[in-house]
């Protein structure tokens, strides 16, 4: 028989910081989902708070096409998967599903995830900095309403992330503020490629010396499967054009991380 416990603690929430003020286990979920022996994604170093907050969006073709919207906070990247990408039109609300925090080092990643979690192609679609328009980001997140400004190559101006009950506990809406940087443009269509200037999905895939999916793409069905196949054909042509192996570009511009 176990002795009754006087103060039964609720299940421990991951501590955000250790006594030294460093974030500790914010990346546990991220790391648990991946096998770093097989993925080129970074495992990430110990997160550290910084005054300048990194921002990026990674266009990711995996089980579905989506745009991973990332805001640096507590030294990691808070992350939302936005299926349709950000719209600069304040009357358009884009669904943003919160996913696990990513390491800050992830913010410059562009490449191919050959297998496993997120298998597919990642294009570094936008990169810059952001600032909250509130003093307490944690309280704003808990409240489910985070106003902020972004200064990046494509995404600019004031935005809000607002939690919505409509699509489950992880669902948020990404909405542009009505400011001078609002527009009716469709950023994803106007600027489809990598912020590094090195093309789009096919060019990133073509940097791999060999097709990582010689048989079938990691997602075969529907529109996503079709998209993968089109990209793989184009990548093959691009690879064929250069007799030399395609040299991976050096660090992307705006390397503030």
Q: Which of residues 42-71 bind Mn ion (CB under 5 A)?
A: 60, 68
Neighbours of 49 (CB within 10 A): 13
Longest dimension (CA), the chain: 73
Least distance to Mn ion from the beta carbon of 174, Å?
Answer: 15
Assigned token pair, 23: 């974030």
The least distance separating Mn ion from the CB of residue 238, rounded to whole angstroms, comes to 23
Burial class for 76, CB neighbours closer than 10 Å (0-12, 13-18, 19+): buried
The residues, any chain, with a CB within 8 Å of residue 34's CB and separated by 6 or more, are 41, 43, 116, 117, 118
Choice between 33 and 177, CB closer to Mn ion: 33
- Would you count residue 41 as binding Mn ion (CB under 5 A)? no
For the CB of residue 66, give the shortest distance to Mn ion in the complex, in Å: 6
- In the bound state, the residue with its beta carbon closest to Mn ion is 60
Specify the residue, 121 or 182, whose C-beta has the smaller distance to Mn ion. 121
Q: How far is the CB of 122 from Mn ion (least distance, A)?
A: 7
Q: How would you classify residue 111: left for phi > 0, otherwise alpha for psi between -120 and 50, otherwise beta?
A: left
Told to check if 104 binds Mn ion by CB under 5 A, we report: no
- In the complex, least distance from residue 120 CB atom to Mn ion, rounded to whole angstroms: 8
- 163 belongs to the binding site for Mn ion (CB under 5 A): no
94 binds Mn ion (CB under 5 A): no
How many Cβ atoms sit within 10 Å of the Cβ of residue 73?
22
The residues of the shown chain that bind Mn ion, judged by CB under 5 A, are 60, 68
């Amino acid at each position: 028989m176990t002795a009754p416990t006087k103060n039964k603690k609720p299940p421990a929430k991951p501590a955000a910081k250790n006594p030294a003020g460093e974030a500790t286990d914010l990346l546990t979920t991220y790391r648990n989902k991946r096998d770093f022996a097989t993925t080129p994604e970074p495992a990430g170093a110990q997160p550290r708070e910084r005054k300048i907050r990194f921002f990026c969006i990674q266009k990711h073709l995996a089980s579905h096409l989506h745009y991973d919207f990332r805001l640096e906070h507590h030294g990691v990247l808070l992350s939302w998967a936005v299926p349709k990408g950000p719209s600069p039109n304040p009357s358009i609300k884009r669904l943003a599903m919160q996913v696990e925090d990513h390491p800050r080092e992830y913010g410059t990643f562009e490449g191919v995830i050959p297998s496993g979690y997120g298998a597919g192609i990642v294009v570094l679609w936008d990169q810059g900095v952001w600032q909250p328009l509130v003093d307490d980001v944690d309280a704003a997140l808990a409240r489910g309403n985070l106003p902020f400004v972004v200064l990046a190559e494509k995404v600019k101006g004031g935005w809000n992330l607002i939690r919505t009950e409509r699509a489950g506990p992880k669902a948020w809406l990404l909405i542009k503020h009505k400011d001078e940087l609002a527009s009716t443009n469709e950023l994803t269509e106007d600027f489809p490629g990598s912020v590094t200037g090195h093309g789009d999905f096919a060019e990133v895939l073509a940097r791999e010396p060999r097709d990582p999916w010689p048989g079938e793409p990691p997602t075969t069905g529907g529109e996503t499967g079709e998209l993968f196949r089109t990209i793989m054909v184009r990548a093959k042509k691009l690879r064929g054009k250069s007799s030399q192996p395609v040299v991976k570009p050096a660090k992307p511009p705006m390397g503030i991380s």
